[in-house]
């Protein structure tokens, strides 16, 4: 049975596809290319292929009609971003996927952004590299001091004075979304000694309490949190969830962090609030347009940390989604129930309607 793999996979699990699952694998990872394959290119590559392990290529209905696939395995946590799930379901093709593959990575990154914004880590790095705080080294030991004390200085114009920021300890963190990533962020924040609240209509207060988190409404969360961090998917209910009213409700000394999706917020409203001093700072990994235009106002703000959608870009993520997909492909091809299926009704139908 032939398989085409366009997702990035680690060597061990790629080898498992061939030795344990028994597939004849063609490996064309996106990491080795400049861009995604087009549907036309994929149509040629999928000739005689039964198993398609996809990363970021689009799979529209016409491609499914041209190919003869038994199963699609998507390395993403949300396969509907590039796979037409309804079309696959209508053609009886199960779509396996890898939920939570980057939850650890994004949670780590979120805490990194919080620290980078609050303690000026990114901004001070920029100031050093652009020569603002470089110069002739001086001995800064105070007269009468008994040990060497080399610093940039501590007076009013020094970086020590100008770039002070708040500790995370004893601050309130408000999480918009309490799924897998939100829960991991909460666990890390509690380790920093933060008080954590969360808004998520799909998670009950008891479940949050078990994690040491208080369930609150989005309005109270915005009004009372020093840090507000977004961790929910884009849906009809969450698109534009945070706008002018929510940003203006946040304290002037608050920080806003988004590692989820740009569509969840009104980005123009955030920019305006930052311009007006309504927030102390922000840290953003996602935007309403990517890449950011060269002249975007966010790039001109010293109190905003910007990163190019790197939250899930940890080395372990590839290993994790590879193992999840190979495990589920082995189950499926052996006639067992896969653990992560985006359209489980297909499997139920194939089994005569039984679970």
Taking CB atoms within 8 Å and a gap of at least 24, the contacts of 246-252 are: 246/218, 246/219, 246/222, 247/222, 247/273, 247/278, 247/279, 248/273, 248/278, 249/219, 249/222, 249/223, 250/222, 250/223, 250/225, 250/278, 250/279, 251/223, 251/225, 251/226, 252/277, 252/278, 252/279, 252/280
Candidates 119, 223, 309, 331; catalytic one: 309
Alpha carbons 309 and 54: distance in angstroms, whole number: 20
Task: Let me know if 331 is a catalytic residue.
Answer: no
Task: Let me know if 125 is a catalytic residue.
Answer: no
Task: Let me know if 340 is a catalytic residue.
Answer: no
First to last CA, the chain: 27
Candidates 11, 136, 290, 300; catalytic one: 290
**Structure-token match 């890898």, residue found:** 98
Within 10 angstroms of residue 319's Cβ, the number of other Cβ atoms is: 16
Candidates 261, 280, 320, 340; catalytic one: 261
Task: Name the H helices within the chain.
Answer: 11-19, 39-45, 61-66, 85-90, 103-118, 121-129, 159-162, 180-191, 205-210, 218-224, 244-249, 267-275, 315-333, 344-350
Active-site residue numbers? 261, 290, 309
């Amino acid at each position: 049975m032939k398989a085409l793999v366009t997702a990035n996979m680690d060597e061990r699990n790629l080898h498992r596809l061939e030795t344990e699952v028994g597939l004849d694998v063609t490996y064309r990872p996106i990491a080795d290319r400049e861009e995604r394959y087009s549907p036309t290119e994929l149509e040629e590559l999928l000739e005689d292929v039964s198993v398609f392990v996809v990363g970021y290529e689009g799979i529209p209905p016409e491609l499914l009609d041209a190919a003869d696939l038994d199963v699609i395995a998507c390395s993403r946590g949300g396969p509907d971003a590039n796979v037409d799930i309804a079309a696959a379901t209508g053609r009886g093709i199960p779509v396996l996927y890898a939920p939570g593959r980057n939850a650890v990575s994004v949670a780590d990154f979120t805490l990194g952004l919080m620290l980078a914004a609050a303690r000026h880590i990114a901004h001070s790095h920029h100031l050093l590299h652009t020569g603002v705080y470089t110069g002739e080294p001086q001995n800064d030991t105070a007269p009468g001091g008994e040990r060497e004390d080399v610093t940039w200085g501590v007076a009013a114009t020094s970086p020590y004075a100008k770039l002070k920021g708040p500790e995370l300890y004893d601050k309130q963190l408000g999480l918009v979304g309490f799924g897998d990533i939100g829960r991991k962020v909460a666990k890390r924040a509690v380790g920093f000694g933060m008080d954590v609240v969360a808004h998520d209509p799909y998670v009950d207060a008891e479940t949050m309490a078990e994690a040491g988190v208080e369930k609150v409404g989005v309005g109270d969360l915005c009004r009372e949190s020093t840090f507000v961090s977004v961790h929910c998917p884009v849906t009809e209910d969450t698109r534009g969830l945070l706008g002018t009213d929510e940003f203006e409700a946040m304290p002037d000394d608050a920080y806003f962090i988004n590692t989820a999706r740009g569509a969840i917020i009104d980005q123009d409203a955030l920019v305006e609030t930052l311009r007006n001093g309504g927030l102390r700072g922000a840290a953003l990994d996602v935007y309403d347009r990517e890449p950011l235009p060269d002249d975007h106002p966010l790039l001109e703000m010293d109190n905003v940390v910007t990163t190019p959608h790197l939250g899930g870009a940890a080395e372990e993520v590839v290993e994790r989604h590879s193992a999840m997909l190979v495990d589920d492909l082995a189950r499926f091809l052996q006639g067992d129930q896969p653990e992560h299926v985006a359209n489980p009704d297909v499997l139920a139908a194939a089994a005569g309607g039984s679970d």
